[in-house]
Amino acid sequence: MRYAVILAGGSGTRLWPWSRAQLPKQLLPLASGRSLLRLAYDRLDGLLPAAQRYICAGERHRQAICQSLDALPAERFLGEPAGRDTLSALGFTAAILQKHDPEAVFCVCTSDHVIEPQDQFRALLDQGFQVAEKHPETLVTFGVTPTFASTAYGYLELGDPLGDNARRVNRFREKPQAEAAQTYLQAGPERYLWNSGMFVWRAATFLDCIRRFEPEVHTGLARIAEAWGTLKQSAVLAEVYPTLKKISVDYAVMEPASRATTARVASIAMPLQWKDIGSWNAFADICPKDVHHNAIASEKTILLNTSRALVASSDPQHLITVVGGDNLIVVHTPDATLVCRADQAEAIKELHRLVGERYGTDLI
């Protein structure tokens, strides 16, 4: 049977001060009053029934997430007792799904993307399911057509066509330097695609890859699966999960699988409107704009001699004014305000660390 898991465990540090540990970016009403998680969940309507959709996120966000998704049943929320990166999250999901359904095939979706048109997105996910069902040894990933020379995304280096609208992935390229990113863009989408972080695979195939490439993680996942559904479920999960190796699925499985002879990595192109809302600059792209290209997400704003700025406030009663600003990010919350040049937005992650060191966890 087909399933979906939405990964919703990100911390969203580059969207500070709106995104906080207790209310991370995926739960914030960033998309016209709706959360990014809600968007991701609703995008699956018409492809998979609600009973076949799962959320994997931090256990501490269980209540907030389940309430935000119309009382999501407890059994469809897979709570991580500690963050261990994407390999553990997806291995955990695969182990539980396979225990309930040995023939499980599942897609992996993220909770921080805005994707349009949605009907085409569902059609491409369906193609991914068909490839994984027809070729059980194949791990399917989705690549997005690059629109600029991004240094913030990983890239898929494509190889030969495999049929079924898929291409072999010869190599995963991590976030490149500017010169390399420009080379990838110039080579075109027939050679390089952005790595979307979305996948389709058989649970059994994915677990077998973990067994071969990260055997200690596989041993831990097997212990969790064995206890799942028993009185020992919570205790074993709390004991084992935090000990799993912290590593991304790309490093641990996708890269070695692309070089292996016993597995195959295929990519399906997603020539869609795709926004990864992982930074304030990305958020600005989906906000309403005024005639001076200012992105506005604030109820009360006066901008004078200002252009290409983002102004955002979580307090509808707070007035934000900017005079003579250009290419700025201004974000207000009741207890913290951010002012940043847009070209310095990547440094907000470091700023987040400094805020925690100097003023404690209450502000992060």
**Torsion of Cα atoms, 82 then 87 then 90 then 92, to 10°:** -50
The reported pLDDT for the residue numbered 38 is: 96
Which of 4-13, 42-51, 154-163 reaches the highest mean pLDDT? 42-51
17 pLDDT higher than 90: yes
- Are residues 166 and 79 part of one domain? yes
Q: What share of the chain is helix, strand, coil (3-state, %, to 5)?
A: 40, 30, 30
The answer to whether residue 245 scores a pLDDT higher than 90 is yes
Section 148-174 average pLDDT: 90
Residue 164: is its pLDDT beyond 80? Answer: no
Q: Last residue of some domain: 276, 309, 344?
A: 276
Tell whether 232 and 344 lie within a shared domain.
no
The CA distance from 202 to 269, in Å, is: 20
For residues 250 and 131, membership in a common domain is answered with yes
Residues 265 and 300 in one domain: no
More confident call, 153 vs 224? 224
Q: Is the dihedral of CA 26, 29, 30, 31 positive or negative?
A: positive
Number of domains present in the structure of the chain: 2
User: Within this chain, do residues 305 and 218 fall inside the same structural domain, yes or no?
Assistant: no
Element of type H or E holding 2: strand 2-7
Query: For residue 249, what pLDDT band results from cuts at 50, 70 and 90?
Result: very high
Q: Which residue, among 287, 281, 294, has the nearest Cα to 345 in the 3D structure?
A: 281
Q: Which two tokens stand for residue 324?
A: 């003579």
pTM: 0.92
Residues 155 and 117 in one domain: yes
CA distance 233 to 227: 5
> Taking residues 53-68, what's their average pLDDT?
95
pLDDT band of 163, cuts 50, 70, 90? confident
With a CB cutoff of 8 Å and minimum separation 6, the contacts of 142 are 124, 128, 196, 198, 199, 267, 268, 269, 270
CATH number, domain of 97, equals 3.90.550.10
Q: What is the pLDDT of residue 253?
A: 95
Non-local (6+) Cβ contacts of 134 within 8 A are 164
Same domain, residue pair 178 and 300: no
Tokens of 281: 């600059």
The pLDDT-based confidence of 98 (bands split at 50, 70, 90) is: very high
Boundary (domain end) residue, out of 276, 295, 326: 276
Task: Supply the pLDDT for residue 276.
Answer: 87
Q: What is the mean pLDDT of residues 31-54?
A: 94
Based on the domain organization, do 268 and 290 belong to the same domain? no
Q: How far apart are CA 11 and CA 234, in angstroms?
A: 24
Confidence of residue 15 (pLDDT cuts 50, 70, 90): very high
Q: Where a domain ends, among 228, 250, 276?
A: 276
80 band by pLDDT with thresholds 50, 70 and 90: very high
Cα distance between residue 178 and residue 185, in whole Å: 11
Total residue length of the chain: 364
Mean pLDDT of the chain: 95
Return the pLDDT at 90: 98
For 243, the domain range is 2-276
Same domain for 145 and 249, yes or no, is: yes
**pLDDT at residue 151 in the model:** 87
Do residues 66 and 83 share a domain? yes
Decide: 205 and 139 in contact? Cβ < 8 Å: yes
How far apart, in whole angstroms, are the C-alpha atoms of residue 198 and residue 140? 9
Instruction: Indicate whether 252 and 287 sit together in one domain.
Output: no
Statement to judge: residues 165 and 214 lie in one domain:
yes
Mean pLDDT of 6-13: 89
